[in-house]
Amino acid sequence: MLAICGPPGSGKSTLSHALSERFGGAPVLAYDAYEEITGWPPERVAAWLASGAPLNAVPVPGLTEDLAQLRRGEPVPDRERGGTLRLSRRVARPVIVLDTLLGRAHPGTGAQIDHLVWLDLPLDVALARKLRSFTGEGQRDPSAASRLLAGLDAYLGRYDTLLHPTYALQRERVRPAADQILSAGTLAEHLDAIQSEIQSTLTPVPTPTA
């Protein structure tokens, strides 16, 4: 199983879905479709940080189980886009892609990772990209501008005290366990680098049945 990790705004989702295409329609499991911590009130996040920010306390219900099920060659619900995820039958050696913030630092999911890629983007650049996701959506749908502005204000209001410390901890705890660190480069260059690196590292998974 191939995991893509990095700070929010580093391009994990874009790279993960590009890898899905590269590997014949490989299923992509997205941490964002399972996580619940963004729904916590600020005081609960602050308490979690004050307690040492244990990553095994980050709730991702169902993610460990869905990963294990896919690794057995069994289909699972696509909680990000709807429908069903299953191993590709178009390649001889099926791949699973995990788009995650936690890497190997999360016990249940981390134990299933064969190859971990860290997208090494400075936090200020990642923040700029995250902000552009707000402004870009507002340009695509002007009627949503008021809602997006409120969301942007809330995000920036929590950034100094809650979000930036969390992202710094992520870099400190997750990056050292990466098998491959990618920084500057185009999407195509990242795809080629990952494909070249993982040829002999991924654990074979069962060929999917009809």
Give the per-residue pLDDT at 16: 96
CATH 3.40.50.300 assigned to domain 2-198? The reply is yes
Give the per-residue pLDDT at 118: 97
Give the per-residue pLDDT at 4: 97
Give domain limits for the chain: 2-198
Q: Which amino acid is at 172?
A: E
Give the per-residue pLDDT at 206: 63
Q: Three-state DSSP class for 49?
A: helix
Give the per-residue pLDDT at 103: 94
pLDDT tens-digit profile of 34-91? 999 988 999 999 999 999 999 888 999 999 999 999 999 999 999 999 999 999 888 7
Q: How far is CA 127 from the centre of its chain?
A: 16
d(Cα 92, Cα 194) in Å, to the nearest integer? 18
Query: 62's torsion region: left (phi>0), alpha (psi -120 to 50) or beta?
Result: left
d(Cα 159, Cα 161) in Å, to the nearest integer? 6
Query: In the chain, which residues have pLDDT < 50?
Result: none
Give the per-residue pLDDT at 152: 83
Give the per-residue pLDDT at 122: 87
- Of 42, 32, 40, the closest CA to residue 57 belongs to 40
Give the per-residue pLDDT at 203: 59
Give the per-residue pLDDT at 89: 84
Give the per-residue pLDDT at 195: 93
Give the per-residue pLDDT at 130: 82
| Residues sharing a CB contact under 8 Å with residue 15, sequence separation 6 or more, in sequence order | 4, 117, 119, 187, 190, 191
Task: Tell me what percent of the residues of the chain surpass a pLDDT of 90.
Answer: 60
Residues 133 and 9: beta-carbon distance below 8 Å: yes
